Amino acid sequence: NKGNYEHYMQKEIHEQPESLTTTMRGRLKHGGSCKGKTVLLGGLKEHIKTIRQSRRIVFIGCGTSYNAALAARPIIEELSGVPVTMEIASDLVDRQGPIYREDTAVFVSQSGETADTLLALEYALENGALCVGITNTVGSAIARKTHCGIHINAGCEIGVASTKAYTSQIVVMAMLALAIGDDAISSQARREAIIDGLFDLPYKVREVLKLDQEMKDLAKLLISEQSLLVFGRGYNFATALEGALKVKEVSLMHSEGILAGEMKHGPLALVDENLPIIVIATRDACFSKQQSVIQQLHARKGRLIVVCTKGDAASVCPGGSCRVIEVPQVEDCLQPVVNIIPLQLLAYHLTVLRGYNVDQPRNLAKSVTTQ
Ligand code: F6R
């Protein structure tokens, strides 16, 4: 049921304040006077100590689910102190890469049925790792075959392009970071700030959804382009990859997410006055580096569209020369949840304006159950 919306993708983008609320329901505790704010993940209760003590945490997934894990990686590393590595499921299986008994392998999958991810799970089980599932489908193969897990609770997602599951996955993994780091006094203030940020997040997402018309206007401007680059770094490297994935899979426009730190190592050669480039430059520890990326792109006459924190337009856009999309600020590790939304809206509007099927893109299936 699409309700008042024309497409499932549009409905699912706009229902993110609610899906995020459902994802967090019953899992965040304000705490009484003696016990501070905490996170409760029922499905992991018996295993959290083992995860904390593991030698390494390996995230495994495909497509958007991989990108969600990439967005959460920095906060998991920061709060757990455990090294985190990333694996695209098919690549891990192709390489028969090393997985050890002392590893925690976390499988991220909206459907819980993706063949590549399932194969990687079987491989990790054979190698004796503790296997954790993060899925949106109760009773799915990945939910059943993992040792423990966290349900995403984002509600059924029908559009082939994953939108609300992505933001809920990031929130689930931020809560996982909080749960793993729960015993460290040194990071208590940081953890409480993130928990406050989580409580506030649905309101901030509602605010950023008001950019709908602005993103439609931008889509009109970009409708006939051949290609679109998206630059991000730090927490928002994932935003660049995921934004580009959304644009290419539904609007059928070539798009590439680029780690801004790699700009000088090749991509800079593409920059001219025609190719549109989105730069994610919201406030966090990488902000000044992104400002200098913008200056360098600007010096090469790049056609820039900058996603920045509210009020920062003048400081990110030299001489008013670029288009600016202002988003509300949240805790740095939650910023990818907010920042992806204008790009989801852009992908949606580009597709509708270009006349393609937004809910069922050419050649794609919602659940990829073959290799
Ligand atoms: C992109 C998309 C795909 C899936 C990928 C993994 O919008 O939906 O990239 O994310 O096929 O699917 P799940 O998460 O079901 O394992």
Query: What is the ipTM for the molecules in this complex?
Result: 0.98
The token pair at 183 is 């015993």
Going from the Cα of 107 to the center of ligand 1, the distance in angstroms, rounded, reads 12
Q: Is any atom of ligand 1 closer than 6 Å to the C-beta of 117?
A: yes
pLDDT of residue 370: 84
Q: How far is the CA of 163 from the centre of ligand 1 (A)?
A: 10
Here the tokens at position 39 are 């996170």
Nearest atom of ligand 1 to the alpha carbon of 66? 10
Q: How confident is the model at residue 235 (pLDDT cuts 50, 70, 90)?
A: very high
Pocket test for ligand 1, best of 90, 111, 169 (most atoms within 8 A of CB): 111
Nearest CA to ligand 1 atom 16: 109
159 exposed, middle or buried (CB, 10 Å; 0-12, 13-18, 19+)?
Answer: buried
Alpha carbon distance 67, 140 (integer Å): 21
Q: Region 280-299: what's the mean pLDDT?
A: 96
Query: Is the per-residue pLDDT at 243 higher than 60?
Result: yes
CB atoms within 10 A of CB 339: 28
Q: What is the mean pLDDT of residues 26-30?
A: 91
Ligand 1 atom closest to 67 (CA): 10
> What stretches of 96-208 show up as alpha helix (H) in DSSP?
115-126, 141-145, 164-180, 188-208
Q: What is the mean pLDDT of residues 226-251?
A: 98
Q: Distance between CA atoms of 5 and 12, rounded to whole angstroms?
A: 9
What is the whole-number distance in angstroms between the Cα of residue 67 and the centre of ligand 1? 10
Helix axes 16-24, 188-208, angle to 10 degrees: 150
pLDDT at position 369 = 86
CA distances from 268 to 225, 263, 285, 293 (A): 19, 5, 23, 10
Read off the pLDDT band of 30 (50, 70, 90).
Answer: confident
Alpha-carbon distance 218 to 174, whole Å? 31
**Residue among 278, 287, 283 nearest 258 (CA):** 278
Q: Is the CB of 161 under 6 A from ligand 1?
A: yes
Test site for ligand 1: of 110, 157, 173, most ligand atoms within 8 A of the Cβ: 110
CB 332 within 8 A of CB 285: yes
Q: How far apart are CA 232 and CA 148, in angstroms?
A: 33
Mean pLDDT of the chain: 96
What is the Cα–Cα distance from 39 to 31, expressed in whole angstroms?
Answer: 10
Contact by Cβ (8 Å): 136, 94: no
Task: Considering only residues 37 and 273, tell me which one the structure prediction assigns the higher pLDDT.
Answer: 273
What ligand 1 atom has the least distance to the C-alpha of 63?
9
| Host H or E run for residue 313 | helix 313-316
- pLDDT tens track for 84-138: 999 999 999 999 999 999 999 999 999 999 999 999 999 999 999 999 999 999 9
Query: What pLDDT score does 365 carry?
Result: 85
pLDDT score, position 33:
54
Which residue, 53, 293, 338, 31, is CA-closest to 202?
A: 338
In the predicted structure, residue 288 carries a pLDDT above the cut 60: yes
Structure tokens at 299: 């010096």
**pLDDT, average across residues 224-247:** 98
Query: Ligand 1 pocket: which of 162, 247, 364 to mutate (most atoms <8 Å of CB)?
Result: 162
163 lines ligand 1 (CB under 6 A): no
Give pTM, 2 decimals: 0.97
252 pocket-lining for ligand 1 (C-beta < 6 Å):
no
